[in-house]
Amino acid sequence: MSLSRRSIVVAAAATVLALAGLPAAAAADIPPADAVVHSPNVTHVLNIPKPDPIAGTINTDIAFQGDYAYVGNYGGFSIYDIRNPKKAKAVSSVVCPGAQMDVSVYGDLLFTAVDSSRNDDSCNSTGQSATVKESWEGVRIFDVSDKTNPKYIKSVETNCGSHTLTLVPGKGRDKNKNVYIYVSSYQPAANFPDCAPPHDKISIIKVPLRDPAAAEVAATPVVFPDGGNETQPGLLLPTSGCHDITVYAEKDIAAGACMGDGVLFDIKDRLNPKVTARTTDPNFAFWHSATFSNDARKVVFTDELGGGGAPTCNEATGPNRGADAIYEIVRGKLVFKSYFKIARYQDDSENCVAHNGSLIPVKGRDIMVQAWYMGGLSIWDFTDSTRPREIGYFERGPRSDGGGGGIWSAYYYNGYIYGADFNEGLDVIKIDDRLTDSAKHVRFDRLNTQTQESYKDGHGHGPGPGHGHGPGHGH
């Protein structure tokens, strides 16, 4: 989409203000309705509208493997051929409703999270109250060896469903035999037979790679045996499990964003993760997600103030709420350093808050790209933990119909940024900046952002099956 002269001026001016640490606050700086604007170092390469089968439901998470992107959607998921990102195209869509369709891929297996109580586990299911014992929610597993025709092969029911999921590879002798799925869920109720309080745990699914149809819940470790943060003023919800977990498997650690708590885990024993550190923050309403720095000495936690539906990127909310919090890990403890929030104020009709992102693999610096719903996506540098700064961005103006939406997830993969927009589909974006240019030489075989893998000396470190190949069951 071409930019008008005014849009380019707005984009450039906002970038200057953001880099200077000043608020881009004036109403005149808010882009025109539906206009695409971005910083001068960012290019909007391509937009691919949602395929017709799932056009009526919203896009969510993204996973990558080889030349393909897997985009979750409340109505199912789509597979995109991104071999040439400038000509990326949808290959297939699977209609299989069930919020919120968090996705992870490994070899020929795609795992999708269902946090919507259904009358059965099929793709033809309809919504049914969780008060009914026979209702189902949890994880669906698909064989995606044929990208044009994915096959649904297994469902695993989990307590309170699966709001998000995190793929954890096995280790040692187990490495090529099993993968594990850490399932995060919450909001129990006394009248939910399969989701009764207290629910201070996660579910762990063990998936045998040679027989994925034998996948089952193998453990349900309690994260908060004495209860979590439940009484802090301003919490969106009291802690009752975790919202999302990011693992750094090669280092045997994980970070949990657990509603009212930020947590570090030791995951040497994949079926028995141990909490090693906890923290709370009076400015955080909902600990939503986590990202480690490449050296695992820092963790960025996000606060989804307003649950993703409120306009919190404004002067009234301020810079320290609905933001990222940067922590350094010092002698095993989480030590707060600073907040980061986009300085580009949004219209009061625009839902905007910190959301899903990933590292950009730049040697010697800590840089990530992150979605902010209708705040678009932000590229920012937290190398100095005390002075994070935005270095680039992409966003759309308020929707002309006054509705909400925006970019749910924004991830960097093999030279390009991909953004899953609620309504607009899949955006392909490129940044050209001296701070990020070295990332162009890093290549990964696979990217599940909640399963971090290190990059070293300008080369990606992506062990395990890539391009859809591996041992057993096409995996």
Confidence (pLDDT) at 6: 27
**Domains in the chain, start-ordered, CATH in brackets?**
1-49+327-441 (no CATH), 61-303+447-475 (2.130.10)
Per-residue pLDDT of the chain (475 residues; tens, 9 = 90+): 333 322 333 333 343 334 434 344 445 589 999 999 999 999 999 999 999 999 999 999 999 999 999 999 999 999 999 999 999 999 999 999 999 999 999 999 999 999 999 999 999 999 999 999 999 999 999 999 999 999 999 999 999 999 999 999 999 999 999 999 999 999 999 999 999 999 999 999 999 999 999 999 999 999 999 999 999 999 999 999 999 999 999 999 999 999 999 999 999 999 999 999 999 999 999 999 999 999 999 999 999 999 999 999 999 999 999 999 999 999 999 999 999 999 999 999 999 999 999 999 999 999 999 999 999 999 999 999 999 999 999 999 999 999 999 999 999 999 999 999 999 999 999 999 999 999 999 999 999 999 999 997 544 544 333 333 232 323 2
- Residue 197's pLDDT is 96
* Each residue's pLDDT tens digit, 399-421: 999 999 999 999 999 999 999 99
Q: What is the 3-state secondary structure (H, E, C) of the chain?
A: CCCCHHHHHHHHHHHHHHHCCCCECCHHHCCCCCCEEECCCEEEEEEECCCHHHCCCCEEEEEEECCEEEEEECCEEEEEECCCHHHCEEEEEEECCCCEEEEEEECCEEEEEEEEEECCCCCCCCECCCCCCCCEEEEEEEECCCCCCCEEEEEEECCCCCCEEEEEECCHHHCCCEEEEEEECCCCCCCCCCCCCCCCECEEEEEECCCHHHCEEEECCECCCCCCCCCCCCCCCCCCCCCEEEEEHHHCEEEEEEECEEEEEECCCCCCCEEEEEECCCCCCCEEEEEECCCCCEEEEEECHHHHCCECCCCCCCCCCCCEEEEEEECCEEEEEEEECCCECCCCCCCECCCEEEEECCCCCCEEEEECECCCEEEEECCCCCCCEEEEEEEECCCCCCCCCCEEEEEEECCEEEEEECCCEEEEEEECCCCCHHHHHCCCCEECCCEECCEECCEECCCCCCCCCCCCCCC
Q: Express each pLDDT in 243-268 by its tens digit.
A: 999 999 999 999 999 999 999 999 99
pTM greater than the 0.85 cutoff? yes
